[in-house]
Structure 1
Amino acid sequence: MPPAAKKSARPSGRALRERWGDPVFLAEALPAIEHMLRTRQFHAADLRGMAMATPNAIPPLQQQNLYNAQLTEVDLSYCHVATSIASSNFVRVQFDHGWLEQAYAKSSTFTDCSFVSAKVGFVADDAVFTSCNFQSSKFVSHWWSGGALRARFVNCDFSNAHLRRVAFRASRFEGCTFDGCLFDECDIRGTRFDGAEPVFRDCMVLTASSPSSSH
């Protein structure tokens, strides 16, 4: 199994990505990763800087996905993932500073996961996010190609996040934090906010909201 991330060491994002071209690192890491891909079980793995299903991914990972997988305490900081992560269960997984490039996350669950300063472009219809940290993240999407329809966000932190052109139709935000968060040109028709509300700019009409909503 890839060695656990050393919390005391703080290599740059570039260094974490470049190590995937190091034959010594790959000789140690790949057998464990291939085993995890076969079993769909990822636990306590250091996958920082990994690219999957992208042009810059190493050959063994160019055609792989995280569909129907269980990931627990996995560090995917600075990752670049552009494949299916649908019907999977993510527990205490870090995507900090990563790029989810239209990753298909339908019906997945995310618990205690971190997306700090990440670039998020996934399709997360019917997904559930519980106690996740989206601080300073940037959601990049288009109404016709990405979003989170009927998704549920519970006790998540969206402080200073920028959500642009994301479809959140019929989704629910329960007890979330939105300090400095901006929903920019998003489709939030049918979305419900229980508790605090973010700032809305040129959004589609909000048709279901908490009683305190003025929209």
Structure 2
Amino acid sequence: MPETVEDATYRHQDWYAEELVDRHYVRCEFFHVDLTEAFSQGASFTECVFGNVAFNASRHVDSAFTRCVFKRCNLFEAEFTGCKLVGSSFDQCDLRPMRIDGGDWSFVALPGADLRGVRITDVRMREVDLTGANLTGATVSGVDLSGAQLHAAKLARADLRGSDLTALDPTAVERAGAIVDAEQAVVLARALGFEIR
């Protein structure tokens, strides 16, 4: 049984290419920790704070970052596969290019985030806050965005096929060149008050 670390603070640590397998951290704080090219699998971080942490080119598989705070972190080329980030928030983070495949990112706060060109596929993102986020040219396919806050989001040239767009007000976002499928087109037309017959 892996041990759980609680209420610890890590500062200026070099965890370059560290393997975090089945490690558990609760209410821990990480400041200026280098997790470049680190790999986590089955790890969990609960109510942790990450400040100025480098996640560059790190890979995370079936790991959980629940109710965590990410502030001024660098996630350049980070990959999250099947991870759970429910209730976490990102503030002033460098998030691109990032890949998210599967998992649960519901209730995540990403207001004003620069997500240009990121790949988000088959993820549950219910009630995610993407207010004012820039998703220009991003791939957001097969994503459950029900209840999402999308006001003033930039979705130009984004590939939104297969995602739940029931919460999207087409008049409140930048949408030129955004790609949707036929089913989504019907949802968006209804949101604009059209009757489909």
Please give the range of the TM-score, normalised by the shorter of the 2 chains: 0.7 to 0.9
Q: Which residue of 2 aligns with 1:93?
A: 68
Q: Which residues in structure 2 correspond to 1:158-197 (within 5 Å)?
A: 158-197=130-169
Distance 2:21 2:185 in 1: 44
Q: Which residue of 1 aligns with 2:26?
A: 43
State the identity %: 15
User: Contact 1:194–1:210 (CA<8 Å) still a contact in 2?
Assistant: no
| 2:53 is the counterpart of 1:67 | no
**TM-score, scaled to structure 1:** 0.71
Residue type of the alignment partner of 2:109:
N
Compute the RMSD of aligned alpha carbons.
2.7
Question: Which is strand-richer, 1 or 2?
Answer: 2
Which deviates more from structure 2 when the two are superposed, residues 37-46 or residues 156-165? Answer: 37-46
Q: 1:104 to 1:74 in 2, by over 3 A?
A: same
Q: Which residue of 1 aligns with 2:195?
A: none
Q: 1:98 to 1:206 in 2, by over 3 A?
A: farther
Distance 1:74 1:186 in 2: 32
For structure 1, the 5+ residue unaligned runs are 5-18, 21-25, 54-62
Q: Which residue of 1 aligns with 2:9?
A: 3
Q: Which residues in structure 2 correspond to 1:1-215 (within 5 Å)?
A: 2-3=8-9, 20=12, 37=20, 39-53=22-36, 64-81=38-55, 82-121=57-96, 122-141=98-117, 146-197=118-169, 198-209=173-184, 212-214=187-189
* Residue 125 of structure 1, CA deviation: 1.3
Distance 1:67 1:201 in 2: 39
Which deviates more from structure 2 when the two are superposed, residues 189-198 or residues 67-76? Answer: 189-198
* Residue 186 of structure 1, CA deviation: 1.4
**TM-score, scaled to structure 2:** 0.77
Give the secondary structure class of the aligned counterpart of 1:213. Answer: helix
* Residue 38 of structure 1, CA deviation: 6.0
Q: 1:135 to 1:69 in 2, by over 3 A?
A: same
Question: Which is helix-richer, 1 or 2?
Answer: 1
User: Contact 1:117–1:134 (CA<8 Å) still a contact in 2?
Assistant: no
Distance 1:169 1:190 in 2: 5
Q: 1:92 to 1:210 in 2, by over 3 A?
A: farther
